[in-house]
A and B are shown apart, each in its own frame.
Chain A
Amino acid sequence: MSRLLMPTPDPNPIFDAFRLARERRLMPTTLDTAGLRELGSGVLNRAVFCAHGANAIFVSKIKEVADAIANGEMNEATARVTLLETLRALRYTPKGGFPDTPPGAVPPALKGTLQDLSSFRRLDLIVRTQRQLMQGAGQQYRGHEAARLAAFPAWELVRVFEVTAPRNWDGSAPTKADPRSRWTIAGGQLFGPGEEQTGMSVSRRMIALKGDPVWGELGATGNFSDALDVDHPPFAFNSGMGWREVSLATCVQLGVTGPDGQSIRQFHSGMERPKVMAGTLPLPTPVMSLKKVDPKIVKRFEEATGATVAPDGKATFSDRQAARDARKKALMDKAVKRAADAYAAKNGGVAA
């Protein structure tokens, strides 16, 4: 029996992002972001760092607020102001840095710029990047559990937040700095017809198996200067990109394989289970008749189930996955409409 429990009377739910956050170490440093990269990804992945954040107390506070965000207990605005109050208490100034910073260790910054640790832009970048890194690491940790790997063998790279300067991930938005698709450069394969997503239409789907080297290449600074040297979202500063898990059924339907053409099982286990029976025994395609049924009802039936109704009234369910996707979409539309109606009622009829 399966059950979907709705959260969360549990006073202490442990988010995986939080679990990973706790394993990270502090790393006060006077290096800038490029210098930090030279330390190698292994160090960065385990460290909460802040370029030019030389004061250990400040870096410790970053870890504290990042933990609180990762555990769902603090929002970004509160995190920013907590860090700002810490900087004020430590008597940080953009020009002189922290009082205990050795002279010349940190270049003076113009107030309000990204180099100024106390600026809104900088604090926002610190908090947002830390949250996204931990969220991405948590998602990867969760997705690599054995059961999850069996049910969802692959990730799909999708846009989860709009950004002002989107990078050319799937090849549909070439820019001077990013002329080629990052996905292709990283060795990824594009699949199937794209699905329309919130605020963005993608032409093809960027899908690869969990553990595929493409994920590491996508986040490698050797390939992309704005990358974060991680093999999970957000891959790069301000990328706005994230993951969705791809089910086994969809992987099978799209023909997703390992980087060298291995089957999903071969790639994930490193060994092939011998086939007991040669060939397959396809199940007969179910057929039903909708003869003399109102055409409007037939149309709605087709939309809801993904079935094809021939002129003689025979309905064929040739694509069960498409039918399921249609049902999911119908449920989404229903939920979105209910939320929009509730919101409009609360705001005196104004939807947004």
Chain B
Amino acid sequence: MSAIAVQIDFSDLASADLRAIGEELSKPAVLHAAIAGAAENWIKETGSVIAAGQHASATRLGAEPTGHLAKAYEQIESQSDDSGASLLVPRASRLAAAFGPVIVKPGAGKYYLTIAVAEDSYGKRAGEFDDLFFARVGPKHQPVLAQKTTGRGTQDLDVKYILVTEANIPEDPSLIPFEELGEISGIAAEEYLDALITSGNGGPA
């Protein structure tokens, strides 16, 4: 990571306004807060637009999008202190894939993951149905959870979930625009310095 160090000295000849600005600049926590807040605002706004375009599964199933990605973006928090600014991203979300491939495995005591394949199961957990049963279907004996429907023979099954022992989510760095966040940080710093200068006297009017 490259960095630029700037040394600013204010002599007795400097105006009181400049000295006041100098005092503000000597508090890195405020500059870092400006960067953190700007990055949080920007990633939430950008994320809501990204999420709005990612409903392929819901569209394919004819289901109402759950908005899980939009919720994940909205859960991002920024933090800052004297030493820097950071963003916290919720781990239990698809945003985890922005940092590398994710292998999802069943929780303790469970053998399968469920993947919704029906309109009414999308966005729900199998446990929210009380009439599902285990079955194997197709030439590969794919394990599924299904409901019984009226009728006979193979048409009796209304498959709600297919079951897998693990799921691989490939890395997707486009979910968190790292490069642009760096530029946003620069803009935020510029905006903060501008506001200091514009308001004069080293602080808000």
Interface residues of A (CB under 8 A from B): 1-8, 13, 15-17, 72-78, 80-81, 84-85, 120, 131, 135, 138-139, 142-143, 145-148, 150-153, 160-161, 197-199, 242, 244-245, 247-249, 251-252, 263-265, 273, 275-277, 280-281, 283, 320-321, 324, 327-328, 331-332, 334-336, 338-343, 346-347, 350-352
- Among candidates B4, B30, B53, residue contacting A340 with C-beta atoms closer than 8 Å: B53
Query: A-B pairs with the 6 shortest C-beta distances?
Result: A72-B90, A335-B177, A151-B34, A276-B16, A147-B33, A81-B125
Residue pair B34, A244 in contact (C-beta under 8 Å) = no
Q: Which residues of A contact B61 (CB under 8 A)?
A: none
Closest residue of chain A to B70, judged by CB? A161
Interface SS majority for chain B: helix
B168-195 Cβ-contact flags toward A at 8 Å (1 or 0)? 0010101111101111110111111011
Given contacts A2-B28, A75-B92, A283-B197, 19 further A-B contacts (CB under 8 A): A4-B84, A6-B178, A15-B90, A77-B123, A135-B75, A145-B33, A244-B41, A245-B41, A247-B37, A247-B195, A248-B195, A251-B204, A252-B195, A252-B205, A334-B180, A340-B53, A342-B172, A346-B170, A352-B59
A133 CA / B70 CA spacing, docked (Å) = 17
Q: How many A-B residue pairs lie within 8 Å, measured between CB atoms?
A: 251
* Per-position 1/0 for B34-50, Cβ under 8 A of A: 11111111101110111
Q: Are A152 and B37 in contact (CB under 8 A)?
A: yes
Q: Inside 8 A of B124's CB, which chain A residues have their CB?
A: 77, 80, 120
B135 CB to nearest chain A CB (Å): 21
Interface size class of B (residues with CB under 8 A): 35 or more
A328 and B182: CB pair below 8 A? Answer: no
Complex A-B: 10 CB contacts under 8 Å: A8-B91, A77-B124, A120-B124, A147-B29, A152-B37, A327-B183, A331-B184, A332-B49, A339-B177, A351-B56
